[in-house]
Amino acid sequence: MTKIHLGCGLDYKADYINLDVNKSCKADVYHDLNNYPYPFKDDTADEIIACHIIEHLDDPVKFLKECHRVLKLNSRLIVECPIGGTWSSYHFNHKFNLTPYSFLIFNQKRWNWQFKDMSFKVGKIVVQPFFNKKINLPWRFIYLNCFVNNILTAMKAELIKA
């Protein structure tokens, strides 16, 4: 089983091929995720995880297309990022603000025509409080977020290559 951890930083995972641009981090592969193609063959990965990476990239759609190319059919991409509109999404080095609807577009036939060369179905989307990333709540809790001063600041989306 081939699992890839994109943008591993200081979170080196033993069962994954860890990739990062920063050579001061422990990684198996060093590569800038803004440079395409990624150093992996087509249809080789059973799972790709990318935690707090997509919001820093120049083109999130190119990133998703490249992950789609590398994933095997029915394999999953797990993307974790700040929820757009929360305090954690407004860092100077964040180029994009994403919400659960950014990923749910893959389930909407009237909009997913924009992604002809990649097909994902959404597995699940959960939101996470900033104080404990291990608690996952249904993504619809994002609306409660407005009333609790941005406690729920991150989300995790699971996309399955279809």
Extents of the domains making up the chain: 3-161
Cα 112 to Cα 46: distance, rounded to the nearest angstrom: 23
- Out of 3.40.50.150, 3.30.1390.10, 3.40.640.10, 2.40.30.10, which CATH number does the structure's domain 3-161 have? 3.40.50.150
Q: What pLDDT digit, counting tens, does each position of 46-77 carry?
A: 999 999 999 999 999 999 999 999 999 999 99
- Residues 88 and 154: beta-carbon distance below 8 Å: yes
pTM over 0.75: yes
Q: What pLDDT digit, counting tens, does each position of 111-154 carry?
A: 667 777 788 999 988 887 766 666 666 766 666 655 555 667 78
Q: How many residues does the chain have?
A: 162
